[in-house]
Amino acid sequence: AVDAACGDSESWVKTGRYRLTSHIDINKTISLYGGFQGHESDRRERNWEKQTTIIDGDGKVQCVHVSADATIDGFIITNGYSSEESSGISINNGASPRVENVTFYRNDGGGVWNGYNCSSVFRNCAFIENVSNGWGGAIMNVYTLTISNSRFLRNNARYDGGEIYNWTEDSSAYIVNCIFTDNAKGAIVNYNNQPIITNCTIVGNQDFGIANHNAQLTVSNTILWGNQEEIVNHDNSLIS
């Protein structure tokens, strides 16, 4: 679908499991939509929740590499493997993709890498049982991340940030209407940045709910409860 697509086009992907031998390279400004049976004439006729479209790294390869301002909507991304950047989706080259209605499930190497100069938007996504060999089991963010209406469950990292690790002073994160629960190595880590967390539920995570390292966190209308520690501050971090 990607190779055949022209820039600024829309491609519909039929339900099924697509086992990869190499990653999918999205290097064009295209829109990919999963959840189709093949007879639809309008995108609204699809059912991405029941007619699942699965991108499967088969435990051997990274699933998706994004280097353009693409839309990815209505997929399950699973079984990715990478010893370096994320095994689910790796976003690079200053791309600003929009990812909606996507489940990241059991990727070994992390769910998402949001790279330098990349401004990515995630909406209505699920991150379940992803594992990172370093930081950020669900998402490793080094630039601009906006995520809303999403849930994070049982993710893990070797070091910190079982859910989201916002790394470097260049990174910023806007996290709205999300649920974080039962994650190892804490839920959210902020390092030298100014994240905003609004209307979230951060409950029952190991180690901590939020950890700040020289960060200026703005948090509002958010429940932190039953975490090993709710908020941990290091290195002159501030909360408002």
- Specify the residue for token string 């950047």: 85
- Quote the tokens at residue 223: 């429940």
- Closest C-alpha to 58, from 85, 33, 38, 81: 81
Angle at 30 between CA 58 and CA 105, to 5 degrees: 30
Question: For the chain, how big is the Rg over CA atoms in Å?
Answer: 17
**What amino acid occupies position 37?**
Q
**What amino acid occupies position 190?**
N
What confidence tens digit (pLDDT) does each residue in 174-211 have? 999 999 999 998 999 999 999 999 999 999 999 999 99
Say if CB 141 and CB 167 are below 8 A apart. yes
What confidence tens digit (pLDDT) does each residue in 134-180 have? 889 999 999 999 999 999 999 999 887 778 999 878 888 999 999 99
What confidence tens digit (pLDDT) does each residue in 58-86 have? 999 999 999 999 999 999 999 999 988 78
pLDDT confidence bin for 222, thresholds 50/70/90: very high
Q: What is the pLDDT of residue 120?
A: 98
Angle at 57 between CA 34 and CA 117, to 5 degrees: 75
What confidence tens digit (pLDDT) does each residue in 16-71 have? 999 999 999 999 999 999 999 999 999 999 999 999 999 999 999 999 999 999 99
Residues 6 or more apart in contact with residue 202 via CB below 8 angstroms: 180, 181, 187, 188, 209, 210, 222, 223, 224, 225, 227
